[in-house]
Structure 1
Amino acid sequence: MKLTLGFSPCPNDTFIFDALIHHKIDTEGLDFEVFFDDVETLNQKAFRAELDVTKLSFHAFAHVYEQYALLDAGSALGFGVGPMLIAKDPALTEKKDPGAHLRVGIPGKYTTANFLLGIAFPHLLNKRELVFSAIEGELLAGNIDLGLIIHENRFTYEDKGLHKVVDLGNYWEELTGCAIPLGGIVVNRRLEQEIQEKMNRVLRKSVEYAFSHPKSALDFIRSHAQEMDESVMYKHIELYVNKYSADLGQEGRKAIDILFKLAQEKGLIAPLSREIYLMA
């Protein structure tokens, strides 16, 4: 049986899906038509229920859980990997509560970064959606007052003379004691339950194979990582692929449940009306 599968070309995703799509493991009769897209594009595809299986942000998942169930395998949760709110004006770093009038550049409405920003500062509503890599430049040009940065920009903003206002990863960890739920892998509920459970099993096997054979996926990772140095690729993987990627377990599920509970309390999402996890 062939399933449509969407994930990003980022090293963490290509690392965990390599064994699955290249049949380095027993896929139990499943085959895949793969679509490579950035996570915000995958979020939009999920809103249209286009794919059988897809990566998406947990913010987006809160809006499509009735069409998709969350797999126990494949999620990205972690410590020390959260988004950061930064500014050009150092005076803004001294304010614990940024003013509601400030213009904020965000890397996408349905990103988990914006989800966390809404939980921490629900009054910041003057938001502008930008490509994540353009946010620093817009700050430097004075077109926005605050920038919500993700990915490698966490490690470059200071070199450009920009300043940290708040590390939302630290905010989340101090508030909850949990890892930050960034993105997950979901399966379309229209598929037969047996297929959904099979998808969960083979993805877990793919993650476990990647952990056991970390260099096996190197060519595949490199082919989608553009000019990224090999050491940088694997640092990226180490940040986002961990025990939660093989199996959410109780800790991972607790982190996701708290994220959705806080978002409901802040009025960011409606109360959930059904179980969000794949029920085997």
Structure 2
Amino acid sequence: MKMAFSSCPNDTFVFHALVHGLVDGAPSIDVTYADIDKTNNWSAENTGPELMKISYAALPWVLEEYRLIPCGGALGRGCGPLVLTKNKLTNPEELAGKTVAVPSEKSTAYLLFRLWALQQIPEGVGKIIVMPFEEIMPAVRDGKVDAGLVIHEARFTYQEFGLSMVKDLGSWWEEDTGLPIPLGAIIAKRSLDQHAIASWIQASVDYAWENPEASEAYVMEHSQEMSRDVAKSHIDLYVNSFTRELGNDGYAAIESLLGRAAKEGFVPAFEMSKLKE
């Protein structure tokens, strides 16, 4: 089976057992490590592998061909994207008309940013530039863009680039809704056995938690030179009970985010029942 997910520590930690043949009954996995912007586009164009990690924000474009798998993704509290600038701002409205770098136009991070900006920046920001997430902080530091929307381990490292946080969009979302943040989703082609895939992924999650040291070499091999401490913090933040099972709160969060976005015309409208088909 072909699968695509990022090289980030949470993904390599979660899928280590599945990729390395340690899950009983699972097929061999041919992995492509790809940035979320690539998998979002592959899924929308129906050109990617049959099993992928994408942004929840990209789901409305792909539900005809792909099914949401209720485990293996990233959804939680205290783990949202950050809006960063080189110079500290006293008011978000100072971003009006500015250039902002984002990791993907179909990312949950960008969707949260757009919903937040509706409230906080009535004049609107200026130009949006999409770039790989690891390039965003250097671009803000070097003055190539006015602000950056960052995800993943940037939460732990942005101070090293001399940057200031304008807003933690995860905190804003949780304060606004009381719900966790839906970040990354696992999707599979509708022709595949959803229940079998979910059971394999849950077994991989269980193995990771029961044998945390087993995946360390694999995680660090793909961790883009981050330290072990940062990689561990990344895993601790993004791998949680929602990774094993979305549950009622997980589905409520997804429906709230995508329902609000559809109302604003940011994503296509769709039947919420498709999330659980």
TM-score normalized by the length of structure 2: 0.90
Query: Cα distance, 1:153 vs. partner?
Result: 2.3
Judging changes above 3 Å, is the alpha-carbon distance between structure 1 residues 220 and 135 closer, same or farther for their aligned structure 2 residues?
closer
Judging changes above 3 Å, is the alpha-carbon distance between structure 1 residues 46 and 277 closer, same or farther for their aligned structure 2 residues?
same
Q: Report what 1:55 is aligned to.
A: 53
Asked whether the equivalents of residues 255 and 272 of structure 2 are also in contact (C-alpha less than 8 Å), the reply is no
Q: Percent identity?
A: 34
Asked whether the equivalents of residues 100 and 125 of structure 1 are also in contact (C-alpha less than 8 Å), the reply is yes
Q: Report what 2:111 is aligned to.
A: 115
Task: Write out the 4+ residue segments of structure 1 that deviate beyond 6 Å after TM superposition.
Answer: none
1:210-258 Cα offsets, whole Å, 9 max, x none, are 1112112222222222433333322211111000000000011111111
Judging changes above 3 Å, is the alpha-carbon distance between structure 1 residues 96 and 224 closer, same or farther for their aligned structure 2 residues?
closer
Q: Which amino acid aligns with 2:113?
A: L
The DSSP-based 3-state class of the residue aligned with 1:72 is strand
Q: Which amino acid aligns with 2:111?
A: F
TM-score normalized by the length of structure 1: 0.89
1:129-175 Cα offsets, whole Å, 9 max, x none, are 12223323333333322221222222333344332221111111101
The DSSP-based 3-state class of the residue aligned with 1:102 is coil
Residue among 258, 264, 272 paired with 2:270: 272
Looking at structure 2, the residues matched to 18 and 159 of structure 1 have their Cα atoms a distance apart, in angstroms, of 30
Asked whether the equivalents of residues 156 and 230 of structure 2 are also in contact (C-alpha less than 8 Å), the reply is no
Q: Across the two proteins, how many residue pairs are aligned to each other?
A: 271
Residue among 41, 45, 50 paired with 1:44: 41
Q: Report what 1:129 is aligned to.
A: 130
Structure 2 unmatched runs, 5+ = 119-123
1:142 aligns with 2:143: yes
Looking at structure 2, the residues matched to 142 and 72 of structure 1 have their Cα atoms a distance apart, in angstroms, of 40
Q: Report what 2:186 is aligned to.
A: 185
Q: Which amino acid aligns with 1:58?
A: Y
Q: Report what 2:121 is aligned to.
A: none
The DSSP-based 3-state class of the residue aligned with 2:232 is helix
Q: Which amino acid aligns with 2:69?
A: L
Q: Report what 1:14 is aligned to.
A: 12
> Does 170-179 or 128-137 show the bigger shift?
128-137
Residue among 25, 32, 35 paired with 2:32: 35
Cα RMSD between the aligned structures? Answer: 1.9
Q: Report what 2:228 is aligned to.
A: 230
Looking at structure 2, the residues matched to 98 and 263 of structure 1 have their Cα atoms a distance apart, in angstroms, of 24
Looking at structure 1, the residues matched to 220 and 161 of structure 2 have their Cα atoms a distance apart, in angstroms, of 28
Residue among 39, 63, 66 paired with 2:64: 66
Asked whether the equivalents of residues 85 and 140 of structure 2 are also in contact (C-alpha less than 8 Å), the reply is yes
Looking at structure 2, the residues matched to 274 and 260 of structure 1 have their Cα atoms a distance apart, in angstroms, of 9
Q: Report what 1:249 is aligned to.
A: 247
Q: Report what 1:204 is aligned to.
A: 202
Residue among 67, 76, 79 paired with 2:77: 79
The DSSP-based 3-state class of the residue aligned with 1:276 is helix
Looking at structure 2, the residues matched to 145 and 75 of structure 1 have their Cα atoms a distance apart, in angstroms, of 31
